[in-house]
Amino acid sequence: MGLFGKKKEETKGCCCGGNCNADTMAQAEAAKAAAGVKVLGTGCAKCNALEEAAREALSELGMDTTIDHVTDFTQIAAYGVMSTPALVVDGKVVSYGKVLKKDEAKALIQQVRK
């Protein structure tokens, strides 16, 4: 006899709420392994500000590297990032959850690309 109705069925899923499959996770892992500079985020003003700071830092360093802006949550979750914006340099998350200034981004890029 159930006084409070049916017991809710528990669903098991991954970090993206169960919306991914083997193909999307494989694509996310492949994108993660690629070298370069990436900004992870939804495309909000903070994400765009981080992208601009990273672009200026790369320009000052004389590096001709394109910046990818990743907005797909499955790919963001593959990096283990739960708060955006995040900055990824050569597959390594160097900052997350805050907007970096140009000098901070420059120092982090230099540190990774020694």
User: Is 44 annotated in the active site?
Assistant: yes
Q: For the chain, how many structural domains are there in total?
A: 1
Residue 11 in domain:
no
Residue 4 in domain:
no
pLDDT tens digit sequence for 17-63:
566 677 766 766 666 666 789 999 998 999 999 999 999 999 999 98
**Per the residue annotation, which of 14, 16, 20, 44 is the catalytic one?**
44
Give the pTM: 0.72
Residue 92 in domain:
yes
Predicted local confidence at residue 9, as pLDDT: 52
- CATH number of the domain residue 68 falls in: 3.40.30.10
pLDDT tens digit sequence for 86-98:
999 988 999 999 9
Residue 15 in domain:
no
Domain of 87 in residue numbering reads as 22-112
User: Is 20 annotated in the active site?
Assistant: no
Distance CA(34)–CA(80), nearest Å, equals 16
**Per the residue annotation, which of 14, 16, 20, 47 is the catalytic one?**
47
Quick check: 102 and 61 in contact, CB under 8 A? no
Residue 14 in domain:
no
Predicted local confidence at residue 1, as pLDDT: 56
Residue 7 in domain:
no
Quick check: 30 and 78 in contact, CB under 8 A? no
